[in-house]
Every structure is written in C-alpha cells, then in structure tokens.
Amino acid sequence: MKTKNIAVLVSGGGTNLQAIIDAHKSGKITNGNIALVLSSNPNAYALERASNNGIESCVITKGDSREAFSDAILAKLEEYDIDIIVLAGFMHILSGKIIEKYTNKILNVHPALIPSFCGEGFYGLRVHKAALEKGVKVTGATVHFVNEIADGGPIILQKAVYIEEDDTPETLQKRVMENAEWEILPRALDLLCNEKIVVENNIVKIN
C-alpha cells in the first residue's frame, strides 16, 4: 500500500495541525506523510508549526479571483503528489475542480454534531455561541468528507461533549477541541491513509 502524501490547509493558528503532527509523531497516524502545509494567510502561526517540525509549507492568498486561487492550490497539490487533503481551520470554500479531483479524499472537522449547527456561516465561535443559545446539553465534533455542500459530505466520525452550566463560547470551543476534535481528526486521517474507509450511497463504512 502506497504511503499517502498529506496536505494540511490552514488559515490561522493551526491547533488541529498540531494535533495531526503530534499524532503522526506518536504513531497514531500510519501509512501517511505530512508533505505540505498550505496557508491562505502569510501570518498564520500554523506556518511556524510546520517549520518547527520540518514540514514544507507555502502561502497562496486568495486575491481577486477565486478561480485563480483554486488553480494555484491545485497546482501545488499536484506538485507535491498529494493524496489526502485535511482542512484545519482553512477559511475558504474549495472549488469544484479540487473537490472532484479529490472526491472522498478531503477531510474537515466541524465543531458540532452534524447536522446540528452546521452549513454556511457556522464556523469558529459562531458554532458554540449558537449551541449555547439553543440550550442544547450535548455538542461535540464531526469529521466528514468535503463535497460541494458546506458541511454536507459523508460523516466519518463523531464524538460528543457535554455542555456545562457556566460555559461560554470560548470555554466550550476549547473543550470541544481538546476532547473531540484532536482525537477524531487524527483517527479519521489514519483510517483514510490505511484505506479503511468505504463510502456507499453517501454513507461511510469503516473496514
């Protein structure tokens, strides 16, 4: 089985990138190599994380044309012979041509239990604020494949996190990251690297 080349796409601090790096170093992600960190933000701390761990990185900013942005990303992915893409706080919607080329090869982690608090406009603290305003008692995180619909791709893994009475969006965000996102994102990536995920009728089966 070919070792998979992984590209992690980032826009900010890269906490989920760090979780992937740590999991890879500890042997929780096998048959995969983090070949590239691609940032849409030249000031993203995630680039520092990549440098500190000897991972090649590049910056591609959006500019005026979404098509040119997507073409530049696709060219870079092809240059590094990328097999799997992980969106780790990447604040842009990927174009159809990237999604088509990498069907069921693009992972995203969403900070809620899809189908709750997801879709266009639900990202970052907005998700946790909405969960608290709704008064739900349980939230969590979801790792899913990326398709043309925001947060609409097949669900791979989910993990629940209980909401506490004194939670703020910030405290909830931190607990969901630490207790759910940083656990299920590396696990899903390992499954994909080892070809243990099958998608049938938009439903994921794990072998």
Boundaries of every domain in the chain: 1-102, 109-207
Per-residue pLDDT at 26: 98
Residue range 100-137, pLDDT digits in tens: 999 999 999 999 999 999 999 999 999 999 999 999 99
Contacts of 174 (CB under 8 A, 6+ apart): none
Identify whether 92 is a catalytic site residue: no
Query: pTM for the whole thing?
Result: 0.96
Domains 1-102 and 109-207 share a fold: yes
Helix, coil or strand: residue 192: helix
Which of these is catalytic: 24, 92, 110, 144?
110
CATH 3.40.50.170 assigned to domain 1-102? The reply is yes
Which residues, in sequence order, are CB contacts of 33 under 8 Å at separation 6+? Answer: 3, 4, 5, 6
* Architecture of the domain spanning 109-207: 3-Layer(aba) Sandwich (3.40)
User: Rounded mean pLDDT of 52-56?
Assistant: 98
Question: In whole angstroms, how far apart are CA 104 and each of 36, 40, 99, 149, 189?
Answer: 19, 22, 8, 13, 12
CA atoms in the 13 A half-sphere facing the CB of 106? 23
